[in-house]
């Protein structure tokens, strides 16, 4: 296979000349190709077949133990001017970055196959979708890209029709953490990633393209590329709403996108459009519409069980690639929080010994096509996307942030998004449980200066008077003993109901300095295990703590200097004034 697109042909030739692969394979995305790649990896021991009776067509991949998460400190945005990348990104001068990366790539594919992987982010016939090509020497990446994106012939045909695509060059190299770099060249629509085979570092369609490069394109072209799930909610009366929610990695986006209503809310239907990324465009009427650029899930496995996420639990019973889970004596995948079974072999392939830590890596993952999700919405394939009624921001915070509040308007909502803070998780290397600012849950993913990004968000307020309402939620509040105050999971629908009622103007609210909150009686607790005291604590706004929080937000925002839009400071001052 080759292509009529001269730029792509040239890039493949140049890359082959640099990296010197033994052979070149153009991926067509067929079932036969997928099976052949799996067989190849099975033969080499890169994949282990799991129990074919109970987990048919499921495989385990063990990554290098030093390569188990995104590496934010080794991820760079390479713009000619450092200020364009902003304080939110690591920066390298593009010439220097190319030299460093090309030095690493020189000869790195000797003896290996170079896979050319054309893919489309978004429904193949959507005007909002964008294509890319990843060149990689990893068969694991190629099969994951098949599950995660619309990969193969149809994407290549679209590239040949349109002529434009994002280029992503990837090699696992020797997996030496000292020679691991994930670099982005937004001006050139180019990604170069070396030395990691893991998730967001290596499946370049996901974080590198659909967030870092796409956020840059979106700023240029007037749309938004966001770290958001998209969920469809249908009331018992048949009213439908679509909600987009931005939470940091490993804070429950997949669970919310696949929520199963509690028994007391029978009659509600919840369906998934996407669990990680949303591309948002204003249509001709000024409605904000969203597509999910992905077609599969790369989800965190630990904690997945029939009570937390039955849809995901069922979805990963077949045709799934597991990465870094443990296995039981009868060769089933096992993870902490699975609810049954016992581990025999840990994620590193050693006999399980609790002294070595968790059996499954805390950031172990499943890769699976979205089609297998029992709650999959056919609207995920609609080229026009879905109209968004509400945008939700949220973080993982033991204290302070109430269960839910609504921003006063779009501008205030942008401040609420810019102020998101969350405790770090195992999705990235580094310390877990440290609270950090993670504006719009995009700290690791915004491809340019946050100051300019917030200005771009604010510009939507001038372009439409039909924008979604903006909310903030926190499912993770704890009491003094460290117990969660809110049950979460299916019960989160109680909060989503309030959000929809607000959007529809059906329910009032308590006006506070930080925004509009539900009155306790506005949250339907019928059948929920939440005491009146817990609800009171969940809906409290403590002025003294909020004054401290606002000080911390201000010093964070000031890091963006003259790039910081004045409007955000005005919004900030208004909240401080209202706190008294």
Helix (H, G, I), strand (E, B) or coil at 84: helix
Active-site residue, 108 included:
no
CB 539 within 8 A of CB 402: yes
Least Å distance between CB 144 and ligand OXD? 12
Candidates 78, 120, 208, 251; catalytic one: 251
Q: What contacts 472, CB < 8 A, 6 or more positions away?
A: 392, 393, 394, 401, 404, 405, 407, 416, 420, 515
Partner in contact with 200, chosen from ligand OXD, Mn ion, none, beta carbon below 5 to 8 Å by kind = ligand OXD
Least Å distance between CB 297 and ligand OXD? 9
Please state, in angstroms and rounded to a whole number, the distance separating the CA atoms of residues 538 and 476: 10
# of chain residues touching Mn ion (CB under 5 A): 2
Name the phi and psi angles at 193, rounded to 5. -130, 125
298 is an interface residue for ligand OXD by CB under 6 A: yes
Range 482-513 burial, b when 16+ CB lie within 10 A, else e: eeebbebbbbbbbbbbbbbbbbeeebebeebb
Residue with smaller CB distance to ligand OXD, 105 or 366: 366
Binding mask 70-109 for ligand OXD (x = CB under 6 A): x---------------------------------------
Binding mask 276-295 for ligand OXD (x = CB under 6 A): x-------------------
- Return the bridge partners of 48, or none: 60
Residue with smaller CB distance to ligand OXD, 251 or 390: 251
- Residue 574 tokens read as 């208004």
249 is an interface residue for ligand OXD by CB under 6 A: yes
Partner in contact with 298, chosen from ligand OXD, Mn ion, none, beta carbon below 5 to 8 Å by kind = ligand OXD
Residue with smaller CB distance to Mn ion, 276 or 491: 276
Report the interhelical angle of 410-418 vs 566-579 (nearest 10°).
90
- Residue 465 tokens read as 């008077």
DSSP character for 213?
I
Which among 7-15, 32-40, 150-158, 270-278 is the span making contact with Mn ion, rule CB under 5 A? 270-278
Please state, in angstroms and rounded to a whole number, the distance separating the CA atoms of residues 496 and 404: 9
Residue with smaller CB distance to Mn ion, 276 or 346: 276
217-256 residues in contact with Mn ion (CB under 5 A) are 249
- Return the bridge partners of 225, or none: 279
Least Å distance between CB 91 and Mn ion? 22
Number of H-type helices and E-type strands within the chain:
16, 30
Q: What is the 3-state secondary structure (H, E, C) of 152-209?
A: CHHHHHHHHHHCCCEEEEEECCCCCHHHCEEEEEHHHCEEEEECCCCHHHHCCHHHHH
Tokens 């012939």, residue?
153
Least Å distance between CB 465 and ligand OXD? 33
Residue with smaller CB distance to Mn ion, 70 or 397: 70
173-232 residues in contact with ligand OXD (CB under 6 A) are 199-200
Residue nearest to ligand OXD (CB): 249
Least Å distance between CB 70 and ligand OXD? 5
Partner in contact with 70, chosen from Mn ion, ligand OXD, none, beta carbon below 5 to 8 Å by kind = ligand OXD
Please list the active-site residues: 251
* Chain residues in the site for ligand OXD (CB under 6 A): 70, 199-200, 249, 276, 298, 427
* Chain residues in the site for Mn ion (CB under 5 A): 249, 276
């Amino acid at each position: 296979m080759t292509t009529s697109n001269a730029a792509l042909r040239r890039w493949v030739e140049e890359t082959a000349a640099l990296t010197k692969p033994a052979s070149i394979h153009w991926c067509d995305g067929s079932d036969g190709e997928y099976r052949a790649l799996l067989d190849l990896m099975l033969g080499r021991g890169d994949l282990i077949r799991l129990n074919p009776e109970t987990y048919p067509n499921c495989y385990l991949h063990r990554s290098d133990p030093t390569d188990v998460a995104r590496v934010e400190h080794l991820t760079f945005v390479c713009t000619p001017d450092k200020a364009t990348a902003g304080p939110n990104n690591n920066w390298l001068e593009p010439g220097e970055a190319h030299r460093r990366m090309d030095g690493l790539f020189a000869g790195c594919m000797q003896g290996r196959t170079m896979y050319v992987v054309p893919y489309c982010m978004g429904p193949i016939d959507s005007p909002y979708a964008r294509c890319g090509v990843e060149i990689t020497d990893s068969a694991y990446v190629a099969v994951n890209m098949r599950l995660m994106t619309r990969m193969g012939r149809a994407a290549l045909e679209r590239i040949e029709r349109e002529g434009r695509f994002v280029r992503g060059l990837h090699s696992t190299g020797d997996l030496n953490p000292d020679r691991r770099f994930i670099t982005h060249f937004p001006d050139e629509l180019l990604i170069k990633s070396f030395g990691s085979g893991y998730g967001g570092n290596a499946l370049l369609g996901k974080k590198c393209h659909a967030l870092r490069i796409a956020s840059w394109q979106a700023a240029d072209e007037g749309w938004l590329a966001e770290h958001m799930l998209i969920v469809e909610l249908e009331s018992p009366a048949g009213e439908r709403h679509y909600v987009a929610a931005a939470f940091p990695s490993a804070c429950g986006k997949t669970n919310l996108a696949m929520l199963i209503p509690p028994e007391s809310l029978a009659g509600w239907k919840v369906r998934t459009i996407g669990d990680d990324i949303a591309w948002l465009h204003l249509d001709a009427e000024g409605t904000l519409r969203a597509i999910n650029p992905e077609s599969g899930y790369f989800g965190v496995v630990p904690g997945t069980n029939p009570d937390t996420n039955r849809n995901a639990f069922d979805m990963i019973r077949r045709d799934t690639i597991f990465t870094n889970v443990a296995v039981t004596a009868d060769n089933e995948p096992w993870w902490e929080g699975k609810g049954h079974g016992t581990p025999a072999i840990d994620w590193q392939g050693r006999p399980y010994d609790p002294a070595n830590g968790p059996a499954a890596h805390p950031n172990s993952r499943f890769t699976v096509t979205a089609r297998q999700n029992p709650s999959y919405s056919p609207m995920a394939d609609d080229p026009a996307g879905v109209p968004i009624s509400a945008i939700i921001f949220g973080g993982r915070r033991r204290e302070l942030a109430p269960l839910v509040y609504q921003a006063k308007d779009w501008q205030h909502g942008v401040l609420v998004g810019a102020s998101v803070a969350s405790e770090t998780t195992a999705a990235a290397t580094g310390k877990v449980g440290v609270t950090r600012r993670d504006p719009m849950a995009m700290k690791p993913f915004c491809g340019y200066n946050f100051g300019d990004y917030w200005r771009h968000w604010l510009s939507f307020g001038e372009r439409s008077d039909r924008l979604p309402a903006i909310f903030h939620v926190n499912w993770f509040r704890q009491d003094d003993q460290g117990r969660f105050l809110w049950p979460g999971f299916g019960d989160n629908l109680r909060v989503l109901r309030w959000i929809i009622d607000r959007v529809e103007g059906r329910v009032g609210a308590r006006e506070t300095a930080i925004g509009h909150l539900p009155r306790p009686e506005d949250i339907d607790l019928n059948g929920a295990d939440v005491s009146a005291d817990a609800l009171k604590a969940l809906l409290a706004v403590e002025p003294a703590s909020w004054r401290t929080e606002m000080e911390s937000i201000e010093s964070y925002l000031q890091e963006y200097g003259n790039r910081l839009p004045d409007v955000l400071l005005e919004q900030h001052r208004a909240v401080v004034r209202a706190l008294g």
